[in-house]
Homo-oligomer: A and B are copies of this chain.
Amino acid sequence: MNDSGEHGEKKRSRRPSQERTAQRDPERTRAAILEAATREFAENGMGGARVDAIAERAGTNKRMLYHYFGDKEQLYLRVLEEAYVGIRTAERALHIGDRSPEEGIGELALFTWRYFLQHPEFLSLLGTENLHRARWLRQSVRLKELHSHLIGELTDVLEQGKKQGVFIETADPLHVYLTIASLGYFYLSNQYTLSTIFGRDLIEPTHLNAWEKHIVHVTLTSIKR
């Protein structure tokens, strides 16, 4: 297209050479590092994660990792932020206010449980971050506003349920959410010690389904009038 002397105009490519374009791909390298880091931090925690291991898993090297993310701690924070954005985004799509209050809460419980089940790395990252008393999360400005929406929506649904007379007056939005999250988080994140000491394989589909029903049952009976 452009041949010469066009001043100020960025041109896309003078040569086609499209088959080689994939060689250098900053965006893909960046994404690969982030994904590899997510797995490495989830599997080994902050103290146990190895920068060399992340680079190797991503199919690149340490130089790129430091180039894109600064250092190990900043990379870790990035991983944590992405994990939170992931669940909160999926949660928003639920629109729990569209159904009846009872169905809305049940849906939130089911969603949370299934999201935890499908994203063990998220649970693991939470565990690591709490071991360190939210040392890195606290520094993140980005995540503070992400959660007001959840509590707001939950408050509305509970209000509606109280008006309709199906929920008790003392039902608290934060308590309801913590109840749902507790039951899912503990069962899954502690499945290894629990399975060992109680001699039952908690990850078996039969037990998983029973616990899913249990979570919905417990959550609803605790707020129903």
User: Within residues 125 to 169 of chain A, which ones have a CB less than 8 A from any CB in chain B?
Assistant: 126-134, 137-138, 143-144, 146-147, 151
List 6 A-B residue pairs with CB atoms under 8 Å apart, sorted by A's residue number.
A48-B48, A126-B193, A144-B196, A147-B197, A178-B194, A179-B218
A174 to B204, CA, bound (A): 15
Known A44-B47, A45-B131, A151-B198; judge A185-B190 contact (CB<8 A). yes
Question: Closest Cβ of chain B: how far from A145's Cβ, in Å?
Answer: 10
Give chain A's interface residues, CB within 8 Å of chain B. Answer: 43-49, 84, 124, 126-134, 137-138, 143-144, 146-147, 151, 174-175, 178-179, 181-183, 185-187, 189-200, 210-211, 214, 217-218, 221-222
A213 to B186, CA, bound (A): 19
Chain B residues with CB below 8 A from A126, complex form? 190, 193
